[in-house]
Amino acid sequence: MHCSGAYSRQRADPYIGLSCGSRAAARVKHVLPSKREQSKQHTNPIQISINPTIATPTTREKATMCHGSGAHDVSPRSTTMNIEQRYFCLSTYFHQRFGQRVQKIPLHAGFSCPNRDGSLSTSGCVFCNPMGSGSGEKMQHMSLRDQYMWWRDTFYKKYKVQRFLAYLQSFTNTYGPLSKLTAVLDQLRDLPEIQGLCIGTRPDCVDREKISALAAFPGSECWLELGLQSSNDSTLKKINRGHDAASFARAATMASEEGLAVCAHIIAGLPGESRENFLQTIAFVNDLPVQGIKIHNLYVCRGTTLGTWWEHDNYVPLQRAEYIDWVIHGLAILRPDIVIHRINGDPQPGELLAPAWAGNKSQILQAIHNELCSQDIWQGQLSGYAATQPPWFSRSYQGDIPPCR
Ligand code: SF4
């Protein structure tokens, strides 16, 4: 699926049963009219500023109208209908696509990471904990099917969810030979009620063959979650990522060409980074064929290099108010067709060292919503494509989404 493509809004998903690559081809048919229309509407798109100033009155009354409803990978969200959505969140996207809630199921497939096993380094990214920044390691002794079935039954009993995506989250899930990846995909393809796949990896661990294998996975959704973190190469070096921003751009472009949806992972508050650096990263993502984004606040975990820096006063996390300010202004310049998969990090129990505010996910989400409302900001407001709140931020929207790139 190219980012310039329009998403289908039919509740009965016409793409079920097609591979991701076939789906992309099907969606291209929807793209062309919308693209032409869009080019007429935006012959002079506004240049994105990385120093946005949004002069609007602060009205505390508006804040009370906001309903928190961020999209989360694992945690359940409120079922309250959001009547004033300020961004295009993942749960909204799923409701438009499937007419019901879709749950991502975290699976641990036993992959490692070149930044951990010595191929690139043994210390990993400075913020990465020994679990590989994932949450499924407690189940790694179980087969993928058993992990999936356990979560599926749990979510069904608790929330009556009947649509699921397999989510390979921990470590680098395309690392190693192609045969390893295809063996994992073979275990997933026939799981009950599975609608597709989300797979997290590094941009330097994908190639055309692996992307083609992912594109052939059955189901209506196939998201490649690619770590970028920052578009600033000196920051990437400082945090020991082991790849540069150009590597991300190449991988995202290749994935998009093969019909995968790309979700970029970025972080606010990286060592040495300013608000301007963060906004530059958003602008970098805007220019690529990316359909989703995860925005994380950088928090300090036990057992990490960052933890040592923090203990020796060599790293100071963002204040909560700073993070909220960065995020809402990042949203203002973000393309409005990009689905927000996450808008804050979510530490595992017991791993958080600092800042304390990072441990309360729901409060952060609510504060972001409140601030978006009180400053009258919405996703894409300064992107040149969303002079008013786009209708597709609402769950009930059934039309196409015009290309915004
Ligand atoms: S690429 Fe991912 S798994 Fe590997 S060290 Fe970095 S954060 Fe950890």
Q: What is the DSSP string of 5-58?
A: SPPP--SS-TTTTSBHHHHHHHHHHHHHHHHHHHHHHTSSPPPPPSS-------
**Average pLDDT estimate for 367-388:** 95
Which residue lies with its CA nearest to atom 5 of ligand 1?
124
Question: Would you mind telling me the total number of residues written for the chain in this entry?
Answer: 405
Amino acid 129: pLDDT? 85
**Which of the listed residues 171, 265, 305 should we mutate to test ligand 1's pocket, taking the one with most ligand atoms within 8 A of CB?**
171
For residue 39, pLDDT over 60 is answered with no
Above pLDDT 90, what percent of the chain? 74
Q: Within 13 Å of residue 363, how many CA atoms lie on the same side as its CB?
A: 7
pLDDT > 50? residue 143: yes
Half-sphere exposure of 264 (CA within 13 A, CB side): 30
- Classify 200 as helix, strand or coil: strand
- As beta bridge partners, residue 266 has 229, 295
Span from the CA of 132 to the centroid of ligand 1 (angstroms): 6
At residue 359, the pLDDT reads: 96
Higher pLDDT, 82 or 123: 123
What is the amino acid identity at position 75? S
Q: Which atom of ligand 1 is nearest to the CA of 132?
A: 3
- Mean pLDDT, residues 282-299: 98
Winning range, highest mean pLDDT, from 36-50, 121-135, 265-279: 265-279
* 50 CB-near residues (< 8 Å, 6+ apart): 276, 279, 280, 282, 283, 333
Angle between helices 178-188 and 144-159 (to 10 degrees): 40
CA of 88 to the centre of ligand 1 (A): 27
Instruction: Ligand 1 pocket test: pick from 108, 111, 113, 304 the residue with the most ligand atoms within 8 Å of its Cβ.
Output: 113
Cβ–Cβ under 8 Å, residues 268 and 327: yes
CA of 128 to the centre of ligand 1 (A): 6
Protein residue with its CA nearest to atom 7 in ligand 1: 128
Whole-number Å distance, alpha carbon 386 to ligand 1 midpoint, is 35
> Tokens in use for 205?
């661990």
> In 10 A of CB 297, how many CB atoms?
25
Query: What are the residue ranges of helices labelled H in 160-198?
Result: 178-188
* Residue 205, amino acid: C
> Exposed, middle or buried: residue 336 (CB in 10 Å: 0-12, 13-18, 19+)?
buried
What's the gap in Å between 338 CA and the centre of ligand 1?
A: 24
> For 311, how many CA atoms within 13 A lie in the half-sphere containing its CB?
10
Q: Are 139 and 108 in contact (CB under 8 A)?
A: yes
Q: Which atom of ligand 1 is nearest to the CA of 200?
A: 2
Q: Which two tokens stand for residue 149?
A: 């079935």
Give the Å distance between the CA of 10 and the centre of ligand 1. 37
Side-chain half-sphere exposure of 297, counting CA atoms within 13 A: 31
DSSP percent split of the chain into helix, strand, coil, nearest 5: 35, 15, 50
> What's the 28 CA to ligand 1 centre distance in angstroms?
34
d(CA 315, CA 310): 5
Strands (E) in 304-401, as ranges, are 339-342, 352-354
Question: Residue 300: its pLDDT value, please?
Answer: 97
Q: Which amino acid is at 52?
A: P
Which one of 108, 112, 168, 202 would you pick to mutate in the ligand 1 pocket, going by the greatest count of ligand atoms within 8 A of its CB? Answer: 202
Q: Which of the two residues, 3 and 232, has the higher pLDDT score?
A: 232
**Each residue's pLDDT tens digit, 184-209:** 999 999 999 999 999 999 999 999 99
In sequence order, which ranges of 69-194 are alpha helices (DSSP H)? 90-98, 144-159, 178-188
Residue 27: pLDDT band by 50, 70, 90 thresholds?
very low
Closest Cα to atom 6, ligand 1: which residue? 125
| Mean pLDDT, residues 96-109 taken together | 96
Q: What is the pTM of this model?
A: 0.83
- CATH, range 51-388: 3.20.20.70
355 CA from centroid of ligand 1 (Å): 21
Rg, the chain, Cα only = 20
Mean pLDDT over the full length of the chain: 83
Does 35 or 352 have the greater pLDDT score? 352
Residues with CB under 6 A from ligand 1: 113, 115-116, 124-125, 128, 132-133, 171-172, 202, 227
One-letter amino acid for residue 13 of the chain: D
pLDDT the model gives residue 50: 52
